[in-house]
């Protein structure tokens, strides 16, 4: 399956299964009896392939019910870092923008995230305008001023949730619970690694890939991605 790999397909599938269950490299090495460096190498390969796959999505604008939000992560300055770290409540934080398309008839959410240098309008607006067909979408956001003017003032296509007034959801579906659930999932998952000191961009896209999927689905999809990657 993987050129120049010394592992059999059976052995590789065992590593893929442990990766899909989200068992870390150290524990996988212990359980399967493989060298830790070997597991690290395959885990990095899997994450790189997932990263390339996730980047290939959202090549065309999407429409529907779209939630947008930004969040801060604890990442320290590394080669992947996109700009100045924001000092917030005494700690250094990395801003990340995210959008999520709510479930449609397919039953699946669509997620896009991007590491950004700041949360200013000049940064966020081009991302949203490049990924979302605003004429075919209803946009949900919090009250952050960077989202001002995305649609006509009179239009009922942009709804806001004012967290400053302790407002988190309205009875008529006006909320950003979807993207906030994704942020919670991502931070909870990355906490297992005590924060990510390296390859944060890979882990971020991996969280997109993992979100709202069962283990069997992840395992099958990773096998397909590996096959396609090495058939190019």
- The pLDDT tens digits of the residues spanning 128-154 come to 999 999 889 999 998 888 888 887 644
CB-based contact 123:116 (threshold 8 Å)? yes
Q: Is the pLDDT of residue 107 over 90?
A: no
Cα angle, residue 78 at apex, residues 73 and 147 outer, rounded to 5°: 40
- What is the DSSP annotation of the chain? --TT--S-HHHHHHHHHHHHHT--HHHHHHHHT--HHHHHHHHHHHHHHHHHHHHHS--S-EEEEEEEEEEEE-PPP-TT--SPPEEETTEEEEEEEEEEEPP-TT---EEEEEE-S---HHHHHHHHHHHEEEEEEEEEEES-GGGTTSS-TT-SSEEEE-GGGT--B-TTS-B-HHHHHHHHHHHHHHHTTTS--S-HHHHHHHHHHHTT--HHHHHHHHHHHHHHHHH-
pLDDT per residue as tens digits for the range 170-206 = 556 788 999 999 999 999 999 887 777 789 999 999 9
More confidently predicted of 23 and 168? 23
- Rounded to two decimals, the pTM is 0.86
CB-based contact 69:183 (threshold 8 Å)? yes
Domain ranges of the chain: 9-56+213-231, 62-198
Q: What mean pLDDT do residues 120-124 have? A: 92
End-to-end Cα, the chain, rounded Å: 13
Q: What is the pLDDT of residue 106?
A: 75
């Amino acid at each position: 399956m993987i050129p120049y790999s010394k592992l059999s397909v059976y052995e590789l599938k065992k590593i893929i299964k442990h990766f899909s269950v989200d068992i870390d490299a150290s524990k996988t090495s212990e359980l399967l009896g493989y060298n830790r460096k070997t597991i690290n190498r395959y885990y990095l390969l899997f994450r790189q392939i997932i990263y390339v796959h996730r980047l290939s999505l959202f090549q065309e604008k999407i429409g529907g019910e779209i939630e947008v939000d930004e969040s801060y992560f604890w990442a320290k300055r590394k080669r992947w870092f996109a700009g100045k770290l924001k000092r917030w409540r005494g700690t250094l934080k990395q801003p990340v923008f995210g959008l999520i398309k709510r479930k449609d008839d397919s039953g699946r959410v669509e997620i896009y995230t991007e590491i950004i240098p700041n949360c200013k309008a000049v940064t966020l607006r081009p991302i949203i305008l490049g990924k979302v067909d605003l004429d075919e979408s209803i946009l949900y956001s919090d009250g952050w001023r960077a989202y001002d003017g995305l649609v006509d003032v009179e239009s009922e296509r942009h709804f806001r949730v004012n967290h400053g007034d302790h407002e988190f959801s309205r009875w008529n579906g006006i909320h950003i619970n979807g993207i906030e659930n994704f942020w919670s999932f991502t931070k909870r998952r990355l906490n297992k690694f005590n924060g990510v000191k390296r390859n944060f961009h890979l882990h971020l896209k991996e969280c997109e890939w993992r979100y709202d999927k069962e283990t069997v689905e992840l395992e099958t999809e990773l096998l397909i991605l590996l096959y396609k990657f090495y058939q190019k």
